[in-house]
Amino acid sequence: MAGGTDDTKPEAPSPAGQAGFGPIVSSAHLADGAMPALSEVEFGMILANHAFERWMIRCMTAAGQPGLTATEILVLHTVTHRGKPKRLADICLVLGIEDTHLATYAIRKLEAKGLVAREKAGKERLIAITPDGETACRLYKDLRERILVSGAEELGISPEAMTNVARLLRVLSGHYDQAARTAASL
């Protein structure tokens, strides 16, 4: 360095994903550890979760059922699954809902809209889909095929790759559940 100036030029910023740029995360302090790639996955899950919830709400609104939350829509699809009435405990188990009050509130709202009905089976109360609920789910499915599925097919991602992503997310969810139990015991 002659005369106190630096003759070197700064490097141009690298595009995302290339060396020198670092992982794309929501919280750099969480990525500053042994597994920064996990922070990248977490940020992707955050964005995907919010986008998925927006999609469900807007699709169900377009299907003629405005005012439902993402949880209520998930409960409706779960009750519709395989055309068999469901127990509250099974709905909560399938959807990973710990607080049964959330599912109960969703069921009450769906029941008030005439989309599900409660029925007695011995000592148990089951939640069953109504004809209006079936119609809402069918319209949602038709819109999903036209709007979402056709667009996803254009991405060129193979069904096998999608299945692998789904498998990874399920495995990670188990690790997060276990970590949550451990954190709760500290």
The CATH number fitting domain 65-153, selected from 3.30.70.120, 2.150.10.10, 1.10.10.10, 3.40.190.80: 1.10.10.10
Taking CA atoms, 30 is separated from 39, 101, 144, in Å, by 7, 32, 35
33: helix, coil or strand? coil
What global pTM score does this model have?
A: 0.83
100-128: average pLDDT: 96
* Helix boundaries (H) for the chain: 28-31, 36-62, 70-80, 88-95, 100-112, 131-143, 150-153, 159-184
Distance CA 31, CA 22 (A): 10
Q: Above 80 in pLDDT, residue 135?
A: yes
Q: Above 50 in pLDDT, residue 10?
A: no
The dihedrals phi and psi of 96, each to the nearest 5 degrees, come to 70, 30
| Span 52-64, pLDDT tens digits | 999 999 999 999 9
First to last CA, the chain: 55
- Domain-by-domain residue ranges, the chain? 65-153
Q: Which residue has the tokens 């079936």?
A: 134
| Span 82-104, pLDDT tens digits | 999 999 999 999 999 999 999 99
